[in-house]
Amino acid sequence: MKLGGIKSVENAHDDSVWAVTWVPATAIRPPLLLTGSLDETVRLWRSDDLILERTNTGHCLGVASVAAHPLGSIAASSSLDSFVRVFDVDSNTTLATLEAPPSEVWQMRFDPKGAILAVAGGGSASVKLWDTSTWELIATLSIPRQEGPKPTDKSGSKKFVLSVAWSPDGKRLACGSMDGTISVFDVPRAKFLHHLEGHFMPVRSLVYSPYDPRLLFTASDDGNVHMYDAEGKALVGTMSGHASWVLCVDVSPDGAAIATGSSDRSVRLWDLSMRASVQTMSNHTDQVWGVAFRPPGGNDVRSGRLASVSDDKSVSLYDYS
Query: What is the number of other CB atoms lying within 10 angstroms of the CB of residue 144?
Result: 10
Contact stretch for other proteins (CB under 8 A) within 108-116, 133-141, 148-156, 187-195 = 148-156
Q: What is the largest CA-CA distance in the chain?
A: 57
The DSSP secondary structure of 11-55, one letter per residue, reads TSSSS-EEEEEEEPPBTTB--EEEEEETTS-EEEEETTTTEEEEE
Does 154 sit near other proteins (CB under 8 A)?
yes
- Least distance from other proteins to the Cβ atom of residue 24, Å: 27
Residues between 211 and 250 that touch other proteins (CB under 8 A): 221-224, 234-245
The residue from 8, 15, 115, 298 that contacts other proteins (CB under 8 A) is 15
Contact stretch for other proteins (CB under 8 A) within 1-9, 49-57, 138-146, 152-160 = 152-160
Region for 148 from its dihedrals, namely left if φ exceeds 0, alpha if ψ lies in -120 to 50, beta otherwise: beta
* C-alpha–C-alpha distance, residues 167 and 251, integer Å: 12
The residue from 10, 52, 97, 102 that contacts other proteins (CB under 8 A) is 102
Residue 81 backbone dihedrals phi, psi, to 5 degrees:
-80, 5
The residue from 17, 129, 311, 313 that contacts other proteins (CB under 8 A) is 311
3-state secondary structure of 317: strand
- Tell me if 58 sits within 8 A of 20, measured CB to CB: no
Nearer to other proteins, 231 or 286 (CB): 286
* C-alpha–C-alpha distance, residues 57 and 48, integer Å: 24
Secondary structure element (H or E) that encloses residue 227, with its range: strand 224-229
The residue from 68, 178, 269, 272 that contacts other proteins (CB under 8 A) is 178
- Least distance from other proteins to the Cβ atom of residue 314, Å: 15
Does 144 sit near other proteins (CB under 8 A)?
no
Binding letters toward other proteins, positions 254-283, x by CB under 8 A: --------xxxx---------xx-------
Nearer to other proteins, 132 or 266 (CB): 266
Kindly tell me the sign of the dihedral angle through the C-alpha atoms of 290, 257, 243, 197. Answer: positive
The residue from 21, 124, 218, 316 that contacts other proteins (CB under 8 A) is 124
Which residues are near other proteins by CB under 8 A? 15-16, 18, 38, 60-62, 64, 80-82, 101-102, 104, 106, 122-124, 152, 154-155, 158, 160, 162, 178, 180, 198-201, 221-224, 234-245, 262-265, 275-276, 286-287, 311
